[in-house]
Amino acid sequence: MTLNVAIIGSGFGGLAASIKLRKAGIDNFVMFERASELGGTWRDNTYPGCRCDVASNLYSLSFARNPNWTNSYSYQPEIQQYLLDVAKKFRLRDLIKFNHEVLDITYNADKKLWDLKTNHGDFEARNVILAAGGLAEARLPNIDGIDSFSGKIMHTARWDSSVDLQGKRVAMIGTGASAIQTIPEIVPLVSHLDVFQRTASWVLPHMQGHPVKKWTTLAYRFIPGAQKIVRTVGYWRREMLGLAFVKKIEKLQVGMDGAKLFRDLMVTDPVLNAKLTPDYTMGCKRILISNSFYPAMVQPNVDLITEGIDRIEANGIRTKDGVLHEAEILICATGFYVTDSPLGRKVHGLDNALLADSYMGDMANYLGSSFSKFPNLFMMGGPNTSLGHNSIVFMHESQLNYIVPAVKFALKKHAVISPKEAMAVEWTKTIRAKTPHTVWGTGCTSWYLNASGENTTVWPDQTFKFRQLTRGFKKQDHDITV
Ligand code: N01
């Protein structure tokens, strides 16, 4: 049977797409999920201390608010439970084909259908929504000798809870968002931790993460609109930060001064303090929020190594100064394949166009959601729809305001639709021209940039503007064949 829609992934994006499709009266669709459970990045990231740095009221679907959050900034298990609850409430589980890894997605122009190859057989679909997520493919560092390490290697996004860290000598590579949450949790366990830092991060104190009071939960449950108001206020506070990122970069100096004060109070050793001092404008890489990272870094069993890694050997990590830092366990908090996600190489459109070129090559996109040579294919979390300052769930819902009516139109009219090449080129040009004037154009390396140093990941403007631009399906922007 030909599917109306094949959705790839069952994380926030896939679940939201399913709910919205159904609400639009569309049936006969499935979510292909390579794992045995739904949840995407919140299923995968089970490292100790894993928590969202966006408030729970905001980091949730607007149409599925949860009055029962126990913490204002939730930890991973509660977010994963939220997604399981959403799936239950909206009866989505039966729509998911678990353990189905999509191996290839190719457009068949004769049949006007997408052919999907999975590890459990082949499928055809009239429309495809890619919702595999930007933080899905864990990246191990490409460091000489990594295969020769004789101990256990773990990536934070593939945490193995059966590994006992108690009393072990541990090395951690990376000091990004995942690392700074993991480090304080494992320092009390390990005999020694060497943290290998390539770039120091901007760290601010966590001022608002706290258990939710009972009366607040009651207010969320029983006072109509109470939680929505809190969510809205939280959204606009973040947009103030967004304003500094995209228009008033000089205002970030206030944040940098505050972060310096915080660091100076927490890290009194001048050598360690200097090593932890970032050398780029705050916000160019993701701002980290933690009250426990600096206190962990000053513990006597922790060393911060900034000499640069030369290679990994059987017994540890050798730095460029020739010193071998012995380790029994190696933890890589080294991020994800984002601009070079393997999924991009599995999607082939017209003229054998490769979706990977939307991030890595010159391929233009429309609203970060569709591509001229990929008819009836849409991408959640596509180019320049990731965020540095607000909730990604808001962006997902914005994308769906365009994607769902587009799919509905295509199904109703039996139409082949794709954005006009000129519209896609115009959109991509406009987005790329914005970045140099934002904080992401101030010069730092991050996963927001592709191999050519171009921002193909983060939305370089305020999010309400994206919401305005994605309002509905504009026929005039598309090539439509019926
Ligand atoms: O990954 P990252 P992450 N040698 O790519 C270093 C979300 N998230 O998993 O900065 C040495 O940010 C790398 O160094 P450098 C959030 O969107 C959110 O931490 O490239 N070091 C960096 O320090 C976040 O942005 C939350 O110089 C190497 C680190 O590894 C995204 O996930 C929590 C190296 C990678 O940092 C990714 O965060 C967790 C090498 N070869 C994640 N390769 C919250 O909500 C890489 N590094 C709080």
Where residue 188 sits, what CATH number does that domain have? 3.50.50.60
223 in any annotated domain: no
Res 359: pLDDT: 84
Clarify whether residues 467 and 352 are in a common domain.
Answer: yes
* CA Rg value for the chain: 23
Q: How are beta strands 416-419 and 377-379 bridged, if at all?
A: unpaired
CA distance 172 to 179: 8
Report d(CA 377, CA 366) in Å as an integer.
Answer: 12
53 and 154 co-located in one domain? no
Atom of ligand 1 nearest to the CA of 199: 27
On the CB side of 67, CA atoms within 13 Å amount to 16
Nearest ligand 1 atom to the CA of 334 is 30
Do 247 and 312 belong together in one domain? yes
Among 286, 305, 445, 455, which is best to mutate for testing ligand 1, by the most ligand atoms less than 8 A from CB?
Answer: 286
42 Cβ contact partners less than 8 Å away, ≥ 6 residues apart: 11, 12, 76, 79, 80, 83
Secondary structure of residue 401 in the 3-state scheme: helix
Which of 313, 332, 351 terminates a domain? The answer is 332
Q: Which residues form the domain of 278?
A: 146-207+234-332
CA 286–ligand 1 middle distance (angstroms): 9
Q: How far apart are CA 302 and CA 187, in angstroms?
A: 7
**Are 55 and 180 part of one and the same domain?**
no
323 lies in the same domain as 352 = no
Q: What is the pLDDT of residue 360?
A: 82
Looking at the fold, whether 368 and 419 belong to one and the same domain comes out as: yes
Given a cut of 90, whether residue 234 has pLDDT beyond it is yes
Look at residue 189 and tell me if it is in a domain: yes
Structure-derived torsion over alpha carbons of residues 418, 131, 120, 374, reported in degrees to the nearest 10:
20
Q: Is residue 222 part of a domain?
A: no
Residue 224 lies in a domain: no
Q: Is the pLDDT of residue 445 over 90?
A: no
Give the domain-ending residue among 317, 332, 347: 332
Task: Give residue 68's region: left, alpha or beta (phi > 0; psi -120 to 50).
Answer: alpha
pLDDT at 337: 93
| Closest to 18 measured CA to CA, from 113, 125, 91 | 91
Closest by CA position to 196, among listed 181, 175, 177, 176: 175
Element (H, E) at 317: strand 316-319
Q: Do 185 and 84 share a structural domain?
A: no
pLDDT higher than threshold 90 for residue 329: yes
Q: In a mutational test of the pocket of ligand 1, which residue from 178, 319, 458 has the highest number of ligand atoms less than 8 Å from its CB?
A: 178
Q: Are residues 122 and 240 in the same domain?
A: no
Q: What are the tens digits of pLDDT across the range 80-137?
A: 999 999 999 999 999 999 999 999 999 999 999 999 999 999 999 999 999 999 899 9
Give the total number of structural domains in the chain.
2
User: Are 362 and 282 in the same domain?
Assistant: no
Q: How far apart are CA 48 and CA 182, in angstroms?
A: 5
Q: Is residue 176 located within the same domain as residue 289? A: yes
Of 49, 465, 394, 17, the closest CA to residue 234 belongs to 394
Q: How far is the CA of 365 from the centre of ligand 1 (A)?
A: 26
Residue pair 105/346 in contact by the 8 Å Cβ criterion: yes
In a domain, 202, yes or no: yes
Q: Is the pLDDT of residue 358 over 90?
A: no
| Residue 293 CB neighbours (<10 A) | 24
Residues lining ligand 1, Cβ inside 6 A = 51-53, 135, 141, 143, 156, 173-179, 181, 196, 198-199, 286, 309, 333-335, 445, 447
Please indicate, yes or no, whether residues 164 and 313 belong to a single structural domain of this protein. yes
Q: Give 265's pLDDT tier (boundaries 50, 70, 90).
A: very high
Q: Is residue 216 part of a domain?
A: no
Pocket test of ligand 1: the residue of 279, 334, 395 to mutate, having most ligand atoms within 8 Å of its CB, is: 334
Q: How many angstroms separate the CA atoms of 350 and 353, rounded? A: 6
pLDDT in tens, 142-191: 999 999 999 999 999 999 999 999 999 999 999 999 999 999 999 999 99
For residue 40, being part of any structural domain is answered with: yes
Which DSSP helix (H) or strand (E) runs through 44?
A: helix 41-44
Q: Which pLDDT value is given to residue 199?
A: 97
% of residues, the chain, pLDDT over 90? 93
- Give the pLDDT score at 443: 87
Mean residue pLDDT across the chain: 96
Residue 388 has pLDDT above 90, yes or no: no
Tell me the pLDDT band of 451, cut-offs 50, 70 and 90. confident
Ligand 1 atom nearest the C-alpha of 50 is 33
Does the structure show a pLDDT above 90 at 339?
A: no
Tell me, yes or no, whether 306 and 256 share the same domain: yes
Q: Whose CA is nearest to atom 3 of ligand 1?
A: 335
Sign of the dihedral defined by the CA atoms of residues 261, 265, 268, 274, in that order? negative
Mean pLDDT, to the nearest integer, of 471-480?
Answer: 97
The verdict on residue 218 lying in a domain is no
Ligand 1 atom at minimum distance from 179 CA: 19
Q: What is the pLDDT of residue 207?
A: 86
- Residue 480 has what pLDDT? 97
Centre of ligand 1 to C-alpha 367, Å, is 26
- Provide mean pLDDT across the span 46-59: 96
Q: Going by C-beta distance under 8 Å and a sequence separation of 6 or more, which residues neighbour residue 389?
A: 238, 239, 241, 242, 245, 283
Give the up-direction half-sphere exposure of residue 447: CA atoms within 13 A in the CB hemisphere. 20
Last residue of a domain, one of 332, 361, 380: 332
